[in-house]
Structures are given as C-alpha cells and as structure tokens.
C-alpha cells in the first residue's frame, strides 16, 4: 500500500489532491458525491469582508477545452462564513483551507486573523488573483509590492500556513512569487485562471454578463504547467500546481514540473468521481514506478534530488 500522504507548508495532506477555490463551494455541497477522505484539502469559496452579490449573469460559458466563469466572488461575507459555512466545512473528513480576499492589506489581515483563529481552519489561501474583480490601478496580482504588502499583513495576523494564489496573467510572475515568499508565504498556488471572453454570433453580444471571465480547464494546463516549472527554480517554498487537471497524468505533469501538491477544480463539474480516478491512478503509478512516497515525483522532470528516492533497484 502506497502512502499517498504528503506534507505541504507544514500540513499533512491525506493525498496531494486539493479541491480548488470556487469550484467546491464551502464543501458540503458535494457531500455524498465526493469521498472527502481522499481529498488532501478543500479550498473554500473566497470570503470577503462583506457579502458580495457577484457579477451580472450569465456567468458561465463553455469553451473548447475548458470554460469561462465570471462569478465575481459571490460569497456570504466574513460573518456568514464564520457563523455557518466554516463549521459546516470543518465537519468534512478533510482539511479546510479558507480562501480570503480583501481590497487592502488591512482587510486581508482582518480576514486572516478572524478565520485563522478558528480550529476548523488548517490554512489560508490569499486570493490576490481573481480576474473578475475590477480594480482602479494596476491589478494586485501583477504588483510585487502590493502582493508583498498583503502577505506581510496576513503573516502578522495568523500563524496558520499561508498559500499565495498567483495569477498566470502577470508579465513578471516570478517577481510576484519572490515578493510573496520574502514576505512570508508558506506555499504558492500556481495558478488562477487567465482572462478571456466569447461572443454569441447570433446576438452579437459577449456570452458573459461581465464580458470577460477566467479561463479554466484543460486549455489552461500547459500555461500554468510552464509557470510551475519556472517558479520552482526561483522560490524555495512548495508549489501547489493548478490549472486544467482532469486525469492522473495531468497531476503528475504538475508534480514532475516541481509541484508538491495540486488542485482540481473545473474537472469536478463534469465528474465529481474525478477525485477517485486521480487518486487511484496516483497509487497505481507509484507502484509501477517503485515510488513509496509521492513527493518522489516532485521535480522529477528536472532530475532534482528529492526527499524520497526511487526504491526500485534498476
């Protein structure tokens, strides 16, 4: 029996499979559809200081190889999250990582303090990369100083592990990642969706009420995979790969590029059983490859030294 557990940012995950923020709600929505004991952690829907209604519908469009969403961080707000949703998520047999987003470093700090002191919270994901929220200035995700200020404030507010979720849409993602690491992030999530749009040629109108949305699904995989490869050379903290994973081999690509764990999101929509398929597949691959710890795959495509070496004699 292969040990599928993995340690990331001080958290021991039952498997390296995490469920991505925004796709799994607060968790209980998928109770009975997913075996949460096989999920390393769920990342809850991003919570903001106050409730948000979200963007004007339509909010979804299908694309070849993926989808666009323009949800716009619809959520119950911090009070509703603390009074109801977090406890519900905490009853699931998996770790809960709470995704938070504020408009200022102080707001991020307040969210991290309030959510971080709760026992249900295993860690926090700092969402500095939602493409569906308008900002007056340069977007936060492309601003190393802005991200550093957010992480610094969050770091002061909580001792819980901080996962910094980056955007693939910054010209210089490396500078953002390095700024986040220097400011005290424990891990990077690489990465969020890419901005995109579609137009209905019959109505001659954008398909999304918000015009633009975030592209996710298999079309995004090569983009975020390349980012994982590049960033794992320049930061020392663990990387959680995310973007278009729908099969075991997709997850392995991310791990071999340098990720310690990975997130699955869009693939849940077509098939909640993707969790079992990927985790079963990882176990099979590990046996075939003679690997007794999945961290043995991390960076394997770069032939770097990893804590768990191949055990097979050949």
Report 77-96 residues binding another protein (CB under 8 A).
none
Candidates 74, 5, 1; CA nearest to 296 is 5
Which residues, in sequence order, are bridge partners of residue 241?
190, 262
Residues near 305 by beta carbon (within 8 Å), at least 6 away in sequence:
none
H/E run at residue 43: strand 41-43
Residues near 201 by beta carbon (within 8 Å), at least 6 away in sequence:
none
Among 2, 35, 60, 289, binds another protein (CB under 8 A): 60
Q: Which is nearer to another protein, 158 or 210 (CB)?
A: 210
Residues that bind another protein (rule: CB under 8 A) add up to a total of 37
The region that residue 135 occupies, defined by phi over 0 for left and psi between -120 and 50 for alpha, beta otherwise, is: beta
118: phi then psi, degrees, rounded to nearest 5: -80, 140
Among 91, 156, 270, 310, binds another protein (CB under 8 A): 270
The full length of the chain comes to 314
Taking contact as CB under 8 A, which single stretch among the options 58-66, 122-130, 185-193, 281-289 is the one that binds another protein? Answer: 58-66
Q: Which is nearer to another protein, 36 or 297 (CB)?
A: 36
Q: How far is the CB of 313 from another protein (least distance, A)?
A: 38
Any catalytic annotation for residue 130? yes
Using rule CB under 8 A, residue 135 touches another protein:
no
Q: Which one is catalytic: 112, 130, 293, 308? A: 130
Using rule CB under 8 A, residue 224 touches another protein:
no
Q: How far is the CB of 37 from another protein (least distance, A)?
A: 19
Q: If you search the block for the tokens 């953002």, which residue do you land on? A: 176
Q: How far is the CB of 69 from another protein (least distance, A)?
A: 6
Six-digit token string for 109: 């700090």
Q: Which is nearer to another protein, 5 or 63 (CB)?
A: 63
Q: How far is the CB of 103 from another protein (least distance, A)?
A: 12
Using rule CB under 8 A, residue 281 touches another protein:
no
Q: What is the 3-state secondary structure (H, E, C) of 292-310?
A: CEHHHHCCHHHCCCCCCCC
Sheet hosting strand 213-216, strand order edge to edge? 60-63, 66-69, 213-216, 194-196
Using rule CB under 8 A, residue 121 touches another protein:
no
Q: How far apart are CA 193 and CA 215, in angstroms?
A: 5
Among 15, 55, 193, 224, binds another protein (CB under 8 A): 55
Question: Footprint of another protein on this chain (CB under 8 A)?
Answer: 22-25, 29-30, 33, 45, 52-63, 65-67, 69, 71-74, 209-210, 217, 266, 268-272
């Amino acid at each position: 029996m292969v040990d599928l557990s993995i340690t990331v940012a001080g958290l021991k995950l039952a498997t390296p499979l995490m469920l991505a923020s925004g796709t799994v709600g607060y968790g209980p929505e998928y109770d009975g559809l997913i075996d949460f004991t096989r999920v390393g952690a769920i990342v809850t829907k991003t919570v903001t200081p106050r409730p948000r209604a979200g963007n004007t519908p339509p909010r979804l469009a299908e694309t070849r190889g993926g989808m666009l969403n323009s949800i716009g961080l619809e959520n119950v707000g911090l009070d509703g999250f603390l009074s109801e949703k977090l406890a519900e998520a905490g009853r699931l047999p998996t770790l809960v990582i709470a995704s938070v987003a504020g408009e200022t470093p102080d707001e991020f700090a307040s969210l991290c303090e309030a959510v971080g002191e709760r026992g249900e919270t295993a860690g926090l994901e700092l969402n500095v990369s939602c493409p569906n929220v308008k900002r007056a200035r340069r977007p936060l995700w492309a601003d190393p100083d802005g991200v550093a200020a957010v992480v610094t404030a969050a770091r002061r507010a909580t001792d819980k592990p901080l996962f910094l979720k980056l955007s693939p849409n910054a010209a210089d993602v490396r500078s953002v990642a390095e700024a986040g690491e220097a400011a005290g992030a424990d891990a990077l999530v690489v990465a969020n969706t890419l901005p995109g749009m579609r137009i209905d040629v019959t109505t001659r109108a954008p398909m999304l009420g918000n015009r633009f949305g975030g592209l996710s699904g298999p079309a995004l995989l090569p983009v975020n995979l390349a980012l994982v490869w590049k960033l794992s050379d320049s930061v020392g903290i663990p990387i959680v790969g995310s973007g278009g994973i729908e099969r075991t081999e997709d997850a392995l690509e991310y791990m071999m590029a340098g990720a310690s764990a990975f997130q699955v999101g869009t693939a849940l929509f077509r098939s909640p059983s993707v969790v079992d398929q990927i985790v079963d597949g990882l176990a099979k691959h590990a046996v075939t490859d003679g690997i007794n710890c999945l961290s043995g795959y991390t960076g394997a495509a770069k032939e770097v030294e990893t804590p768990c070496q191949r055990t097979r004699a050949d």
